[in-house]
Structure 1
Amino acid sequence: MTYVGVVLISHSSKIAEGVKELIRQVVKDVPLEIAGGTEENEIGTSINKIQAAINKADQGKGVLLFYDLGSAKMNAEMAIEMSGLEHIKLIEAPIVEGAYVAAVEAGMGKDLDDVAKRVKESF
């Protein structure tokens, strides 16, 4: 079975890894990728890391992106534009709670729009 993928974008690799670890306690099969920190693993974000995470998370059903701070959003938007993919959504929701809800909903086999809708309804 294929699932909607989830990408966690954070200025801190530790935050992204921690959120992924938390979600993996409940949801095992949904593609869940992280893009935390800069290329040098310092605080910040990386368009290249975001693009790589999108590509890994994409199984063909779409990808939802969650971010922590404003410049992460800006880099995510640029990564989406550069990807050329149409089935990516940048979600305005708390990264921990939003990504958790998205992973659970995606794990039930829901499509991209349904998962995004459920996350938005939750916050």
Structure 2
Amino acid sequence: MSENVSIVIVSHSPEVARGAADMVREMVGEEVAVAWCGGNPEGGLGTDVAKIMEAIEAVYSDKGVAILVDLGGAETNSEMAVEMLPEERQAKIVICNAPIVEGAVMAATEASSGSDLKAVQATAEELSA
């Protein structure tokens, strides 16, 4: 596997996050590392900064990590997780303003071709334009 931009999917629902990750893997196989997380620490709907950090670390690539989120709380917690990482890693992580499922699939498809982080983010965000 060549090193590509990785994808992290963050949803308030573990089932939504897992399902989106499954769709990405179905579309691009193992060419792109994908991690997902969802749910709050008590197991209910929500997001958890620690889980987001674990997901980022699990797939971190020097080419970058594109994070896709479902709602505002997921975005806020993802921003907090990124801020808690070492500075050199923070610069290689973006949160995409894109629909979580479609954006993740499009971002991963772009990443699988070896594109850089900026191109992966732009491809995902085309869906929001």
* Matches for 1:59-78 after TM superposition, within 5 Å: 59-78=61-80
Q: Does 1:108 align with 2:109?
A: no
SS of equivalent to 1:93: coil
Distance 2:23 2:43 in 1: 21
Q: Does 1:4 align with 2:9?
A: no
Distance 1:122 1:44 in 2: 24
Q: Between the two proteins, what is the percent identity of the paired residues?
A: 40
Cα drift, residue 41 of structure 1: 2.5
Contact 2:18–2:37 (8 Å) recurs in 1: no
User: In structure 1, what is the equivalent of residue 35 of structure 2?
Assistant: 33
- Comparing 113-122 with 90-99, which one deviates more in the overlay? 113-122
Cα drift, residue 42 of structure 1: 1.6
User: In structure 1, what is the equivalent of residue 81 of structure 2?
Assistant: 79
Residue number among 83, 101, 124 corresponding to 1:119 in the alignment: 124
Structure 2, unaligned stretches of length 5 or more? none
Q: How many residues align?
A: 123
The one-letter amino acid paired with 1:49 is K
**After TM superposition, where is structure 1 displaced by more than 6 Å over at least 4 residues in a row?**
none
Contact 2:99–2:127 (8 Å) recurs in 1: no
| TM-score normalised to structure 2 length | 0.90
